[in-house]
């Protein structure tokens, strides 16, 4: 009898393809790429990871204070693991203190003072304090050299293939290098993995209530925070050999863009050219949510199961970014070989999402069962099989 049921099941196997999203029927003018006056730059959609624009994106650069993004990641990671607390205090060494007297950006910590991790973090993130970087590095790893090893280990973990760190601040060192592509990847990792701590990057000022002196109030050096464009980070940089740089993040309508540029000739061009690049991306591209991993929105018919349908989910959020002129050729399908024969276990692969565009190869994303579907008992399966033979009703 089981052999007969299997035979019947093989007879009714079909491929079901359902159109999920109907293409929008309109045309737009062709999109021209912006001319960004920087040595190297990149624009990434945060959700989809798609690169919308790049100019010499793999050219080696000196990241300057954009290095502090990784310094922050190391601290955030330890906080998230519970190995460090915001109210922990580090004693300021002479090495860290001297960084506040060298003419570079600093929060002006005092020798032998005890400063909390949270204050040092704000000193790094908001006012770009090199002294705060060294104090955190020494407090966490004993020496800045040891801390740099932690930074490089994390860089490999994240997938930064053209990056090496030798210090926590980004000060002059030919062996402290990266690329705008790696910095964009690093910035996305920061925002995705530490959303609560990332809020420090949006703070426009920090007042350091130092010991033995009047409070020092300094503003955030990120110029885009003061523009009405939805910026909430990330980090500026400057070295005489590299000129001005900026990693920035802007939230548009239901999306986020990350831009990184280096080799801007002036502070003004750093701001205006970064805004030009981000504005171009928001105007000319759209990002669509195809699947939310937390919401099993796809339904599949079942056969010989205690449920008529099973819901499917993806293991990751799925987004697609397109130029607006390409939207009319955008189609998304669900494909599966079914009805699906019970029993079905949770997390069994049950189908695929197929994304079709004219510009790229088809994208295929696996879909998995979000629940278990048990098989009906022998007598009901026999009844259902005969019912199908007579009426053809699955």
Catalytic positions are 65, 68, 128
Residue 53 belongs to what H/E stretch?
A: strand 51-55
The residues, any chain, with a CB within 8 Å of residue 214's CB and separated by 6 or more, are: none
The b/e string for 177-215 (b: 16+ C-beta within 10 A; e otherwise) is bbbbbbbbbbbbbbbeebeebbebbbbeebebebeeeee
In 175-254, the DSSP E strands lie at: 205-208, 216-219, 231-239, 243-252
Nearest CA to 232 out of 251, 206, 253, 211 is that of 251
Query: Which token pair is 279?
Result: 């504005």
As given in the structure block, the two tokens for residue 340 are: 């699906």
Distance, in Å, from the CA atom of 123 to the CA atom of 221, rounded to the nearest integer, reads 12
How distant, in Å, are the alpha carbons of 107, 370, 372 from that of 345?
57, 9, 5
Q: Which of 174, 186, 179, 151 is nearest to 163 (CA)?
A: 179
On the 0-12 / 13-18 / 19+ scale of CB atoms within 10 A, 267 is middle
Cα–Cα distance measured from residue 357 to residue 80, given in angstroms and rounded to the nearest whole number? 40
Q: By C-alpha distance, which of 81, 83, 90, 160 is closest to 118?
A: 90
Question: Which residue(s) pair with 14 in the sheet?
Answer: 338
Give the separation between CA 185 and CA 159, rounded to whole angstroms.
8
Helix (H, G, I), strand (E, B) or coil at 321: strand
List 366's β-bridge partners, or say none. 352
Judge whether 150 and 125 are in contact, CB under 8 Å: no
Question: Which residues neighbour 209 within 8 Å (Cβ) at sequence distance 6 or greater?
Answer: 215
């Amino acid at each position: 009898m089981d052999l007969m049921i299997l035979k019947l099941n093989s007879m009714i196997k079909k491929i079901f393809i359902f159109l999920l999203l109907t293409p929008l029927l309109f045309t737009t003018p062709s999109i021209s790429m912006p001319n960004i006056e920087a040595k190297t730059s990149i624009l990434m959609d945060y959700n989809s990871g798609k690169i919308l624009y790049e100019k010499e994106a793999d050219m080696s650069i000196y990241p300057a204070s954009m290095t502090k993004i990784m310094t922050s990641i190391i601290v955030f990671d330890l906080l998230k693991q519970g190995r460090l607390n915001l109210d922990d205090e580090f004693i300021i060494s002479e090495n860290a203190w001297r960084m506040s007297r060298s003419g570079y950006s600093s929060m002006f910590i005092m020798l032998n003072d005890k400063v909390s991790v949270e204050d040092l973090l704000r000193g790094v993130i908001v006012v770009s304090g090199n002294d705060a970087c060294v104090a955190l590095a020494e407090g966490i790893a004993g020496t800045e050299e040891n801390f740099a090893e932690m930074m490089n280990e994390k860089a490999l973990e994240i997938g930064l293939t053209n990056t090496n760190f030798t210090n926590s601040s980004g000060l002059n060192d030919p062996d402290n290098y990266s690329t705008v592509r790696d910095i964009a990847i690093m910035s996305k990792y920061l925002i995705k993995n530490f959303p609560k701590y990332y809020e420090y990057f949006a703070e426009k000022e920090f007042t350091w209530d130092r010991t033995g002196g009047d409070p020092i109030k300094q503003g955030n050096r990120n110029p885009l925070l003061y523009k009405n464009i939805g910026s909430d980070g990330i980090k500026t940089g400057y070295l005489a050999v590299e000129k001005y740089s900026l990693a920035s993040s802007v939230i548009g309508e239901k999306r986020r863009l990350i831009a990184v540029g280096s080799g801007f000739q002036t502070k003004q061009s750093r701001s205006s050219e970064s805004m030009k690049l981000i504005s171009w991306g928001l105007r000319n591209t759209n990002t669509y949510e195809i699947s939310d991993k937390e919401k099993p929105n796809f339904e599949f018919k079942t056969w010989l199961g205690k449920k008529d349908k099973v819901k499917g989910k993806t293991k990751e959020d799925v987004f697609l970014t397109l130029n607006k002129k390409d939207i009319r050729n955008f189609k998304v399908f669900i494909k599966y070989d079914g009805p699906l024969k019970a029993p079905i276990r949770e997390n069994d692969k049950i189908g695929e999402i197929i994304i079709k565009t004219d510009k790229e190869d088809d994208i295929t994303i696996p879909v998995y069962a979000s629940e278990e579907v048990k098989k009906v008992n022998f007598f009901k399966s026999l009844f259902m099989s005969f019912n199908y033979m007579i009426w053809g009703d699955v």
